[in-house]
Amino acid sequence: MTQPKLIDTHAHVNFHDFKNDQDEVIKRALDEGVWMINVGAQRETSERAVKIAKKYEQGIFAAIGLHPSHLEDQQVDYQESGEEIKYKSRSEEFDHDLYLKLAKDEKVVAIGECGLDFHFRSENQAREKSKVQSFKVKQKEIFLKHIQLANEVRKPLIIHCRDAHDALIDMLQVTSFALQDRGVMHFFSGTLEQAKKYIDLGFYISFSGVITFPPLRRASANEYAEIVRQIPLEKILVETDCPYVAPVPRRGQKNEPSYVKYVAQKVAEIKGLSFDKVAGQTTKNARELFGI
Ligand SMILES: [Zn+2]
């Protein structure tokens, strides 16, 4: 069995964006020794993630879950570190039996992405305060159902969290005694203090291509550098979140799993370590967490 050089712990080759080049993109990654976990965000993309994983004997895995943005119809449209991200989200109810069935598949290595997203950009959402409040409550309910599912199948969580870290940490502090296999904070966007709290709760922190971006108005890349520097390599995972946020030097292109090397390179540069050391340790971390 070949050993992976790197693992892209959060990819979306299961998304529509890769409809025409899915096989090539996967081949390019595998040829470079990059394994990947394709992450579902609702029923359809979760099913497709499993289907893709089953096509490959080795190196391609799936995660299944219902992303908090898919709990109501909305036009998602925002700037992520200077990059415009736009998609239409269709609402879906969480069908426990359906996700349980998917979760039991041996190629499924995690439950997610699930979590909280309190980033309300659209004006009409912000205007209706009570609606926002009930949407938050609903997100918390559905996240709890993912925790239950993770416990049921004994698999870790892949957590999405945007503008809701304090609420999420509160929830994890209350529920973590019941959460057996922990998980990862994907596309980490919180503060150093919050990162430390997640680590104390037993979670890994995953970084995306955003850490390679040049400092912007909010100096976000500098803040990321400080977080990467301060937290132990034994707690770090790397990801692309492709097709979004392609890292430097691929900015402006469609992101893909083979570019995860640029994220690992940046972690190495920030921490003053060799690329091989970072690739080796983050791969070991991912294999331990996801049992692959
Ligand atoms: Zn994602």
Task: Domain ranges for the chain, please list them.
Answer: 6-290
Is the per-residue pLDDT at 37 higher than 60?
Answer: yes
Q: For residue 113, how far is its CA from the centre of ligand 1 (angstroms)? A: 7
Q: For residue 114, how far is its CA from the centre of ligand 1 (angstroms)? A: 9
The DSSP element (H or E) to which 197 belongs, if any, is: helix 192-200
| Average pLDDT along the chain | 91
Q: Residue 250, SS3?
A: coil
The pLDDT value recorded for residue 223 is 85
Identify the CATH assignment for 6-290 out of 3.40.50.450, 3.40.50.720, 3.20.20.140, 1.10.510.10: 3.20.20.140
Phi and psi dihedrals of 168, rounded to 5? -70, -45
Q: For residue 41, how far is its CA from the centre of ligand 1 (angstroms)? A: 7
The pLDDT value recorded for residue 83 is 60
Asked if 149 and 103 touch (Cβ cutoff 8 Å), the reply is: yes
Q: Which residue has the higher pLDDT, 180 or 223?
A: 223
The pLDDT value recorded for residue 165 is 96
Is the per-residue pLDDT at 266 higher than 70?
Answer: yes
- Neighbouring-strand partners of residue 150: none
Is the per-residue pLDDT at 158 higher than 70?
Answer: yes
Q: For residue 38, how far is its CA from the centre of ligand 1 (angstroms)? A: 9
Q: For residue 11, how far is its CA from the centre of ligand 1 (angstroms)? A: 7
Is the per-residue pLDDT at 287 higher than 80?
Answer: yes
Q: Tens of pLDDT along 163-176?
A: 999 999 999 998 86
Phi and psi dihedrals of 255, rounded to 5? -75, 155
Q: Which residue has the higher pLDDT, 53 or 132?
A: 53
- Neighbouring-strand partners of residue 185: 159, 205
Whose structure tokens read 């929830």?
171
Q: Tens of pLDDT along 223-249?
A: 889 999 999 999 999 999 999 999 999
The DSSP element (H or E) to which 134 belongs, if any, is: helix 129-153
Q: For residue 240, how far is its CA from the centre of ligand 1 (angstroms)? A: 9
Q: For residue 177, how far is its CA from the centre of ligand 1 (angstroms)? A: 26
Pairing of the two strands 74-80 and 83-89: antiparallel
